[in-house]
């Protein structure tokens, strides 16, 4: 029987758990210090490892694209803060890119709360991604094994899709904005009544009453 007192990993739609963390940019309060902004918290297995280095290089190169979406990046692993600082210095010196975002030095508490430790894959944090919106609500979670690096374009795409969906109350098709059927068009929520179902084909382009779509609002 599960222990009711044990902390539960947050689920989509939950408020991101409040926590105070030590980072390369000083102490941070999550999600409070990012109130009114979106943020992406992403964990990596360890500093000074090849796949993680390629990811931090890529995230750093795209930092301004995240900021353009009013989204901030936060890295994290169970390494100590001096290791993070030295690794960030190495990336700037050897690869020519400055790491502009904070990196959390976790003791295991954050990783435990967010389900980043998967015992079957070892004792390091997996490659987790948490996208949190401007109200502090967890909107998307992704988990990757240690041997597979993340696609930064997909994370940017997901934020754009979430922000547009939230603002316009629509759904986004596969591979949006380059869907094979709809291009950059968006999906209208299904009708909830018989009367609405009858009106849908008159209001929108539809494959059927339950599958209607419309142009992207610029």
Give the sign of the dihedral formed by CA 99, CA 27, CA 29, CA 127: positive
**Boundaries of CATH 3.30.1020.10 in the chain?**
169-218
Whole-number pLDDT of residue 111 = 76
Task: Write down the mean pLDDT value for the chain.
Answer: 90
Residue of higher predicted confidence among 185 and 146: 185
Q: Are 111 and 105 in contact (CB under 8 A)?
A: no
How far, rounded to the nearest angstrom, does the alpha carbon of residue 123 sit from its chain's CA centroid? 22
* pLDDT, tens digit (0-9, with 9 covering 90-100), for 46-79: 899 999 999 999 999 999 999 999 999 999 988 8
- Sheet architecture: strand order including 71-77: 26-30, 19-23, 103-105, 71-77, 38-43, 127-132, 138-144
CA distances from residue 60 to 74, 117, 152 in whole angstroms, order as listed: 11, 24, 10
Query: In angstroms, what is the C-alpha Rg of the chain?
Result: 20
Q: What is the dotted CATH code of the domain comprising 169-218?
A: 3.30.1020.10
Reduced 3-state DSSP string for 1-53: CCCCCCCCCCCCCCECCCEEEEEECEEEEECHHHCCCEEEEEECCCCCCHHHH
Give the sign of the dihedral formed by CA 152, CA 153, CA 156, CA 162: negative
Q: What is the dotted CATH code of the domain comprising 19-150?
A: 3.40.30.10
pLDDT higher than 70, residue 2 = no
pLDDT higher than 70, residue 155 = yes
Q: Quote the CA–CA distance of 138 and 118 in Å, as a whole number.
A: 20
pTM (2 decimals)? 0.90
Whole-number pLDDT of residue 45 = 83
* pLDDT, tens digit (0-9, with 9 covering 90-100), for 26-55: 999 999 999 999 999 998 888 999 999 999
Q: pLDDT grade, residue 116 (50/70/90)?
A: low
Whole-number pLDDT of residue 10 = 84
pLDDT higher than 80, residue 124 = no
Whole-number pLDDT of residue 8 = 66
Q: pLDDT grade, residue 114 (50/70/90)?
A: confident
- The residues that are catalytic are 52
**Boundaries of CATH 3.40.30.10 in the chain?**
19-150
């Amino acid at each position: 029987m599960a222990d009711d007192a044990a902390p539960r990993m947050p689920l989509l739609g939950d408020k991101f758990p409040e926590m105070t963390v030590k980072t390369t940019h000083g102490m941070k309060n999550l999600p409070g210090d990012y109130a009114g902004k979106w943020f992406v918290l992403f964990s990596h297995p360890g500093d000074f490892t090849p796949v993680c280095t390629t990811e931090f290089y890529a995230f750093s190169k795209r930092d301004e694209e995240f900021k353009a979406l009013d989204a901030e990046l936060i890295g994290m692993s169970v390494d100590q803060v001096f290791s993070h600082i030295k690794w960030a210095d190495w990336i700037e010196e050897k690869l020519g890119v400055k790491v502009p975002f904070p990196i959390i030095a976790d003791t295991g508490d954050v990783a435990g709360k967010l389900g980043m430790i998967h015992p079957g894959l070892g004792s390091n944090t997996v490659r987790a991604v948490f996208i949190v919106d401007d109200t502090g609500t967890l909107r998307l979670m992704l988990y990757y094994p240690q041997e597979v690096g993340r696609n930064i374009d997909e994370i940017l795409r997901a934020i754009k899709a979430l922000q547009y969906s939230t603002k316009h109350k629509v759904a986004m098709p596969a591979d949006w904005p380059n869907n094979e059927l709809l291009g950059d068009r968006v999906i209208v929520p299904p009708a909830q009544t018989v009367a609405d179902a009858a009106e849908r084909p008159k209001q929108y382009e539809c494959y059927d009453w339950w599958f209607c779509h419309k142009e992207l609002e610029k």
